[in-house]
Structure 1
Amino acid sequence: MRDAQPSTIYLKDYQPPAFLIDKTELRFDLQESETLVQSRLHLRRNPAAVSGTALVLHGCELELLSLAIDGTALSPSDWQQNGEQLSLNNVPDDFVLECETRIFPQNNTSLEGLYKSSGMFCTQCEAEGFRKISYYLDRPDVMSVFTVEIIAEKSLYPVLLSNGNLQSLETLADGRQRAVWHDPFPKPAYLFALVAGDLACVNDSFTTRSGRKVDLNIYVEEKDRDKCDHAMTSLKKSMRWDEEVYGREYDLDIFNIVAVDDFNMGAMENKSLNIFNTSCVLAKPETTTDMGFQRVEGVVAHEYFHNWSGNRVTCRDWFQLSLKEGFTVFRDSEFSADMGSPTVKRVEDVSLLRTAQFAEDAGPMAHPIRPDSFIEISNFYTVTIYEKGAEVVRMIHTLLGPERFRQGSDLYFDRHDGQAVTCEDFVKAMEDASGVDLGQFRNWYSQAGTPELNVTGRYDADAGSYTLTVKQSCPATPGQSEKAPYHIPLAMALIGEAGALRLNLAGVEADPETADNTQCVLDVRAPEQEFVFTDLPEEPVPSLLRGFSAPVKLHFSYSREQLLRLMRNDSDGFSRWDAGQQLALMEIDAAVEALKAGKAVVADDDFIEACRAVLADESLDQAMVALMMQLPSEAYLAELYRPVDVHALHDARDALRKAIAVALSDTFWAVYQRCQSDEDYEPSAGQIARRSLKNCALSYVVCTGSDQAIAAAVSQFEQSRNMTDRLAALSQLVNSDNSYKAQALQRFYQDWQHEPLVINQWFQVQAMCQLPGTLEKVQSLMGHPAFDIRNPNKVRALIGAFCGQNTVNFHRKDGAGYGFLADQVISLNRSNPQIASRLLVPLTKWAKYLPTVQERMREQLQRIMAEPDLSNDVYEVVSKSLAE
């Protein structure tokens, strides 16, 4: 057990920094056994802070060699060290502090600060990694202009990079190389970056709308030079899109991206020097799936968009993290929608929100998108901050409309350029630019939990009117038992037999400028409201929450007939998909009851015929058809049932899939044949859609277990020329009882053993296998030469995939899956606490399961809690989970 409980940091305790740093000069002497860091900080007392306050710097795992003020050396008696704080009393109001530290990047397994990956030096400073490099005011509201000098052995590290522009590059007399970089834009320490290595460079350029040429460089290992084209194309698309949609032009003459194999996150937006996990930048058809191509495009866009929404305007403190992340996720989501299918992108985003984020809202780690407190900030890089934060920005966009939202973003960037600001500043800019009152809307920033809308509808045939009654509520969350009403934009339409009906909302004058009067957005503000629609020629079916206009749980008692009408006639792609999902949930409910009664699972004829009609309609977006054929995931089902009986739900869903596959076998086979193509691979929207439908059909035909289906999977695995089709076939074979799967796995490994990212997919396919014995397979694979527990990508591919996505095997009835996860968390706690705490998520959900399962999961949490040297990262998650 820990000797002392870590301290909690509260938003209410925020104080401006006592000092500011106008200029930061850094010198790095990179050596094989150690690194010497010299800093010169030009400090001045902050006029906005309390006068007479001591200078308190942050530092962690540093060996302090010397300190000096204005050239005068300080003795150890001139400062005090307490944990991560170095305090200096009686300092001048304006002075230069010189500091020299020694660090050991080659021993840094936390992958925070400066560390080595595959023989190169690189950094990760967000959120508080810079304090592992040098003593500093490591907080986002201290912004400084950086000049960085890097010295290293030229033969080992010919590429020396940092933020901003390269001022000089020279070879020294001893054969070492010296580079000096200068970033003219003030930035907090978390945006500092350094890379030194032997790297190949892929070059291109972009001409901004004002005519400036920007040099674009992607640095990778030589073996990966041929995997950069898609990332470069994505970067140029992002730069053009940000100019056209937001009016944001890039502000320097160079933009660099570096691919790093050992990285805790996806990528980092350091000013002008983005550092990427290799999985988010490297792509080519032979090694990368369609999903991988889309991820590269989305992450490249996200990090580039941060240049304005995060770098030029940054967050005042880490409680405001969603200010930059939520806004930027919204921006990259809109970009991806414009590059592909908007409906498919929306469904994918909502699916993640309904499973991962709604689960977080309902669990012990629930927090508002602007948290009130935290112990370890790394634990708050969550789906709530990112994805729910993006949904809050999306709601502002919905309430204001595109034109006024753009005016608001322009005002926000112009008003706060070069500043560290708050979520309130963002909302205020939107209000001031649009004239729309967002006072009540601010509750989305301060309240945790997922609001629920209970809606009823009543049709008056004599009056030709339809009344919607909307009631809103929000469950209690840790520290927040009572919730004030939210301002919720509820997009809706009324669907008749032939399609959407014209809307006349009582008390609201129709806008003659509006071309489409068949849909509207209702402002839900009160605990209960009524909305009356008049002049209706028939009883409608309400299409509610169109486009998922708010991150809420909607309850409306639809009949099967109503859902079938929406599935057939709704013009909103999301609502049409969601109607199909609700019908599928009815089928799963029936399957659960059938299995309890010892009966066979049979899908209702109306559901089968609706699926058949969707599959046969060649006018529909093929990617959308594939999504509509996917049954609700087990993760989503776990959010709907209490208590969750994992095995009953898995068996019911599996039996229903097989029933659908048998009933529609001829249709699925026809779709599979129809989607075959020998065209050269492109990660285009059309091709991605076709492959997604083809592989959806393959998964269903394999469900039947026919020899023809297995032969099709084998043929696709052996003959496909792209990773999407080959991996899809391998996954189907691994989840079958066919003896060929062992041969397929061995062949796949032999073909791709030299490609780490592909082998990660090989690990993941096996970790996701639904058949018994998968836990033992995962444990065996941890001893495979290609697995390295120090590499976060491999940990996520094998351990994370098994524990977080293989529901039926992680929740094995003997509880072995829980013990396995606890073992890995305890091990990683010592080397990489960030990854350890993120792996913990499946155990934090213990309260939703059956009593016997709860007991076993809690036992493992308690075992972790008993560890003597628990990191703050892991302690916070475990302690909050056990307190539930």
Structure 2
Amino acid sequence: MRTDTGQVFHLKDYAPTDFVVDRIDLTFELDPAETKVISRVLMKRRAGVSRSAPLVFDGDELTLDSVQLDGNDIDPADFDVTPENLTIRNLPAEATFEITVNTTIAPEANTSLMGLYRTGNIYCTQCEAEGFRRITYFYDRPDVLAVYTVTIISRKDDARLMLSNGNYLGGGNYDEGRHFAAWFDPHPKPSYLFALVAGDLGVIEDTFTTMDEREVALRIYVEHGKEKRAAYAMDALKRSMRWDEETFGRAYDLDIFMIVAVSDFNMGAMENKGLNVFNDKYVLADPETATDADYANIEAIIAHEYFHNWTGNRITCRDWFQLCLKEGLTVFRDHAFSADQRSAPVKRIAEIRLLKAHQFPEDAGPLAHPVRPESYREINNFYTATVYEKGSEVVGMLRTIVGADAFRQGMDLYFERHDGQAVTIEDFLACFAEASSRDLMQFSLWYSQAGTPSVSVSTSWDEAKSTFTVTLEQSLQPTPGQPRKEVMHIPLAYGLLLEDGSEHKGSPSGAGASSAAAGVLHLTRRKQSVTFADVASRPVLSINRGFSAPVNLAMEQSSADLAHIARHDADGVARWQAINDHATRHLVAAARLARDGRPLPASDELCAILTAVAGDESLEPAFRAQALTLPAESDIAREIGSNIEPDSIRAAREAVIADVARAGRELFSTLANQAPGGPYSPDAGSAGLRALAGIALSYASIAEASPARAAAVFAAADNMTVMAQALQVLAHHFPGTGAATDALAAFEARFADNPLVIDKWFAIQAMAPGAATLDRVRELMTSRHFDRMNPNRVRALIGSFSAGNPTGFNRADGAGFRLLADEVTAIDKRNPQLAARLLTAMRSWRSLEPVRQEEARLALVAILGAAQLSTDVSDIVQRTLAG
């Protein structure tokens, strides 16, 4: 574990390496305790670099065995070595030379899951962001691109299968009792994309013919006996490959594409060139063990990692400050893929929910940072919702501003101009500026300014002149390190709905009226107005349609106007947003009254809207399910903003849910019985029907004040989606009842040998609302199923509790904070990355009421006082306390 040195890295300090790498040849002699790594690096001094400049390679907890120059041992006076660096002096001034580095590492002792580690009987690597330096001394940075040849040697009884990046060169017997396999990747890549997997795995195989008529072998490797559960992942891969050809003109470029699924993995997946390594939860699925959400996630993440082949691998980042250039752009691409594969409006609603639940709080708290940070202490801590999700939103805004045609031209230019390079945001934006003939300097502020802009909207209707004026004003709150902000370019899609539900077709006049595509207002000043002429009747403004910009919108709209949008807007996302805004407004008012001990407001109007949507068969079932899912407790807390008292929010929300349940009792009873019958299918239509039946089951059970219906559904369920829905209703709404206890026990007994399903069992219980859940979490931590060494298990229990249970975690007595502090401190000693990500659950602690604030502060201080904190955790806790 690297302890915190306090070193801060700055974007402004970027400089290229003194030496240029042409090729690296790696040989691994695998052994669980003593793996020998031989690295031969062909390189030369960069032109113009001083003859006295030394070569400095990165390392992390490494032990050097030997180092040679052109095959000869280097004089000890000419090099210095520490576990973190290898420095070599007196190297050739102009000639190409070869440095050979020999190290020994212990994969089975590597609990950080970075570098080369052993999980079960499988050797596996994870090198992003700085894991390669745990394998050998090298330039471990994304702008050093080299061609890799890899030879893997192993005992036959230790690793029958040996994989690495690129195309297979061959293999066979190495000596008595050992064998080897060799791989060559012709595409220059940075060290973070290196991969090695070795062990004994099952495989499913297929082929794909590219648009240039090349046949590519496809292989997905999983644990033996789980091959059938990888079929959907293979189908998603083939659909992703075809979609990228049709949508972006990008064909695959190697002879083989491989995916390996492992159970111990810090991330969701990793896009290593030609050899993707996945957390097995995003590969394995069958109806009995995976929910509709699991299938959708598999589809999206398979696509995401494949799309990285061009946006991340063929074109990579110059430095880690440009991380959003590969991640935000590739999230945009996988979102577009999922929208095409499924319902575009429903997919977009899910994206908005995710953004507001995770990225907006990040922007509003002490961990706020720009999409492209200016500095960092630990790069692992910047794999955030801001880089990924907001980064995707910024690319979406770029497409809105330049238009679909110019966006595609810009992407084509980007691929053509920068293939094989490590580039910057400026390089990316220059392609779109050229393709669209637009100045994108103001737009580029989205990459450099932290925080969520707020846009206030006011309207004025002049009946006598038949004009309608819209006034927009933007404001940007200070964030850590950025007390003053420049005015942003904010594209706001809009529509004017007339009394009969039709849409006004005229264009506005005034500042911001010009648009790259019809129906977009461009807010480029602090305040500006546009006026619509010849408006036949008082319109209702629908603005930020499709959530065209990730902003907080402040607009006074009557319940009648919101209802008008919900009934008539052609944009499905806007219809959902109107329903959600109405529900949020009502829930915030109810929470404030509950805190003061006053009677809650009547929910009649909201009940009427929601029951009308629930019964409207002209709407997609998946859309109806989204509309019926009320804003979460965390959403309500975010709207309130400060002095948060979680118990009152929970009480108000549960009261409103009960009102809706009673108002639509008969309808929900009917809908709860309408899950599709017959063999399970993960298609979007069937999944939508199950989603609607699931939310209806929850409402119907609450209205009946009985667990009987959910218990019957649980007992009869023939797929994991329906079973998990029923189990959640029982555990969350009827905790402690015999029905809930029996169902949890039955679920555990049935799936005791399936870790991914047991993760669901942990998570459902950890997120059961209420302060008493803490005791259950403590009990579950002693379960035979709980494995602190497995990141999935820790996230399922500790992560679900701290990030997904506002009342249970944010207890007034501070017990929830102390539990997390203890776990973070313990986990940090073996897996700093996992510990740091768990700790982000405390990013909004200052928004709590004073008693809880102080308890949270004390827990954070306790973590900071622990001995030998990693850089990962120290960075998060210090920023969280300072914000």
For Structure 1 versus Structure 2, the TM-score category normalised by the shorter chain is over 0.9
Correspondence for 1:587: 586
Q: How do 1:698-737 residues align onto structure 2 when only pairs under 5 Å count?
A: 698-707=697-706, 710-735=707-732, 736-737=734-735
The answer to whether structure 1 residue 758 and structure 2 residue 760 are counterparts is no
For 1:5 and 1:725, the matched residues in 2 are separated by: 50
Q: C-alpha displacement at 1:871, in angstroms?
A: 0.3
- Superposition deviation, residue 95 in structure 1: 0.8
Give the C-alpha shift of residue 648 in structure 1.
1.1
Aligned to 1:293: 295
Q: Secondary structure at the match of 2:570?
A: coil
**What per-residue deviation string (whole Å, max 9, x for no partner) do you get for residues 580-630 of structure 1?**
111112321342355356565464333222222211111101110011111
Alignment-derived partner of residue 128 in structure 1: 130
Q: Secondary structure at the match of 1:172?
A: strand
Q: What does residue 523 of structure 2 align with?
A: 524
Partner of 1:198: 200
1:42 aligns with 42
Q: 2:538 aligns to what SS in structure 1? A: coil
Distance in 1 of aligned mates of 2:260 and 2:549: 36
Cα 1:51–1:478 change in 2 (3 A) is: farther
Q: How does 1:629-644 map to 2 (within 5 A)?
A: 629-641=628-640, 642-644=642-644
| 1:400 to 1:698, Cα distance in 2 relative to 1, 3 A | same
1:366 aligns with 2:368: yes
Give the CA deviation at 1:51. 5.9
Q: What residue identity is the alignment partner of 2:844?
A: K
**Match for residue 827 of structure 2?**
828
How far apart are the structure 1 equivalents of 2:759 and 2:630? 26
Instruction: Tell me the distance in 2 between the aligned counterparts of 1:425 and 1:392.
Output: 15
What SS does the corresponding residue of 1:418 show, helix, strand or coil? coil
1:291 CA displacement: 0.2
Is the CA contact 1:17–1:49 (under 8 Å) kept in the aligned structure 2?
A: no
Shift of 1:776: 1.3
Counterpart residue number, 1:423: 425
CA deviations over 1:190-225 (Å, ceiling 9, x no partner): 000000010011000001111110000000111211
Do the aligned partners of 1:59 and 1:131 also contact (CA within 8 Å) in 2?
A: yes
1:4 to partner: Cα distance? 7.2
User: Can you list the C-alpha shifts for 1:496-551, whole angstroms capped at 9, x where unaligned?
Assistant: 1222422323448999999xx9x601111000111111110001110010000011
Residues 495 and 570 of structure 1 are in contact (CA less than 8 Å); yes or no, is this contact kept in structure 2?
A: yes
Counterpart residue number, 1:118 = 120
Distance 1:460 1:512 in 2: 22
Give the alignment of 1:647-666 within 5 angstroms.
Answer: 647-666=647-666
| CA displacement 1:385-440 (0-9 Å, x = unmatched) | 00000000000111122211111000001000000000111100111112122111
Query: Residues of 1 paired with 2:463 and 2:720: CA distance?
Result: 57
- Whether contact under 8 Å (2:511, 2:530) holds in the other structure is no
Shift of 1:704: 2.4
Establish whether residue 19 from structure 1 lines up as the match of residue 29 from structure 2.
Answer: no
The 1-side partners of 2:852 and 2:241 are apart by 50
Q: Distance in 2 between matches of 1:668 and 1:530?
A: 45
Matched residues, number:
877
SS in 2 for 1:638: helix
Residues 405 and 694 (structure 1), Cα distance of their counterparts in 2 relative to 1, 3 Å cut:
same
Compared CA separation, residues 24 and 32, structure 1 to 2 (3 A): same
Q: How far has the Cα of 1:733 moved from its partner?
A: 1.0
The answer to whether the 8 A contact 1:490-1:522 is kept is yes
> 8 Å contact 2:769–2:807 — kept in the other structure?
yes
**What residue number does 1:171 align with?**
173
Match of 2:240 among 225, 238, 241: 238
CA distance in 1: counterparts of 2:332 and 2:697, whole angstroms:
33
Contact 1:388 1:551 (8 Å CA) reproduced: yes
2:398 alignment partner, SS class: helix
Residue 108 (structure 1) aligned with residue 110 (structure 2): yes
Residue aligned with 1:592, SS: helix
Q: Decide whether the 8 Å contact of 2:3 with 2:871 is kept in 1.
A: no
Aligned 8 A contact 1:209 1:249 in 2 = yes
Q: Is the 8 A contact 1:504 1:534 kept in 2?
A: yes
Q: Does 1:490 align with 2:487?
A: no
Trace 1:429-468 onto structure 2 (pairs within 5 A): 429-468=431-470
Counterpart check, 1:382 vs 2:384: yes
CA contact (8 A) 1:603 1:660 kept: no
Output the CA distance in 2 between the equivalents of 1:433 and 1:374. Answer: 33
Q: Distance in 2 between matches of 1:47 and 1:492?
A: 54
855-864 or 84-93, larger mean C-alpha shift: 84-93
Residues 857, 877 of structure 1: alpha-carbon distance in 2 compared, 3 angstrom cutoff: same
Mapped to 2, the partners of 1:691 and 1:506 lie a distance apart of 43
Is 2:100 aligned against 1:98? yes
Secondary structure in 1 matching 2:206: strand
- TM-score between both structures, scaled by the size of structure 2: 0.97
Aligned partners of 1:17 and 1:850: how far apart in 2?
A: 50
Aligned match of 2:265: 263
Question: What residue ranges of structure 2 are gaps of 5+ in the alignment?
Answer: none
8 Å contact 1:500–1:571 — kept in the other structure?
Answer: no
Give the match for residue 188 of structure 1.
190
Give yes or no for contact 1:170–1:178 (8 Å, CA) kept in 2.
yes
CA distance in 2, matches of 1:324, 1:187: 14
Q: Which residue of the partner structure matches residue 803 of structure 2?
A: 804
8 Å Cα contact 1:504/1:510 also seen in 2: no
Asked if structure 1 preserves the Cα contact closer than 8 Å seen for 2:511 and 2:528, the reply is no
Taking the TM superposition and a 5 Å limit, the aligned residue runs for 1:619-638 are: 619-638=618-637
Distance 2:563 2:752 in 1: 48
Distance 1:725 1:346 in 2: 24
**Is 1:310 aligned to residue 312 of structure 2?**
yes
> C-alpha root-mean-square deviation of aligned residues, in Å?
1.8
Query: Structure 1: which amino acid aligns with 2:394?
Result: V
| CA displacement at 1:155 relative to structure 2 | 2.5
- 2:874 counterpart of 1:875: yes
Residues 597 and 512 (structure 1), Cα distance of their counterparts in 2 relative to 1, 3 Å cut:
closer
Q: CA deviation at 1:158?
A: 0.9
Matched AA of 1:541: V
Preserved CA contact (<8 Å) 2:216 2:254? yes
Is the contact between residue 65 and residue 102 of structure 2 (CA under 8 Å) also seen in structure 1? Answer: yes
Deviation at 1:711, TM superposition (A): 2.2
2:307·2:333 contact (CA, 8 Å) conserved in 1? yes
Distance (Å, rounded) in 2 between the aligned partners of 1:473 and 1:601: 33
Paired with 1:734 and 1:621, the residues of 2 have a C-alpha distance of 28
Letter in 1 for 2:368: A
Shift of 1:53: 2.0
Choose which of 199, 214, 225 in structure 2 pairs with 1:223: 225
1:467 and 1:530 in contact (8 A); partners too: yes
Contact conserved, 1:493 with 1:500, CA < 8 A, in 2?
no
- Give TM-score, length-normalised by structure 1: 0.97
Mapped to 2, the partners of 1:378 and 1:103 lie a distance apart of 22
Contact 1:216 1:255 in 2 (8 A): yes
CA contact (8 A) 2:62 2:83 kept: no
Whole-angstrom CA distance in 1 between matches of 2:435 and 2:137:
41
Identical amino acids, percent of aligned pairs: 45
Q: CA separation in 2, counterparts of 1:787 and 1:4?
A: 29
1:99-135 Cα distance to aligned partner (Å, 9 max, x none): 1000001000000000001211000000000000000
Alpha-carbon offset, residue 812 of structure 1: 1.6
Q: Distance in 2 between matches of 1:350 and 1:640?
A: 15
Distance 1:246 1:3 in 2: 43
Could you tell me how far 1:845 is from its partner in structure 2?
Answer: 1.7
Show CA shifts across 1:648-687 (max 9, x none). 11111111111111121112112223x2332211110100
Amino acid at match of 1:165: N
Q: For residues 589 and 818 of structure 1, what CA distance do their matches in structure 2 show? A: 25
Which residue type is aligned with residue 24 of structure 2? T
2-structure distance, mates of 1:560, 1:308: 47
Task: State the alpha-carbon separation in 2 of the partners of residues 59 and 114 from structure 1.
Answer: 13
Is the counterpart of residue 253 in structure 1 residue 255 in structure 2? yes
2:401 pairs with one of 399, 402, 408: 399
Deviates more, 1:565-574 or 1:178-187: 565-574
Contact 1:61 1:103 (C-alpha < 8 Å) held by counterparts: no
Q: Report if aligned partners of 2:78, 2:90 keep a CA contact under 8 Å in 1.
A: no
Kindly indicate whether residue 345 of structure 2 is the aligned counterpart of residue 343 of structure 1: yes
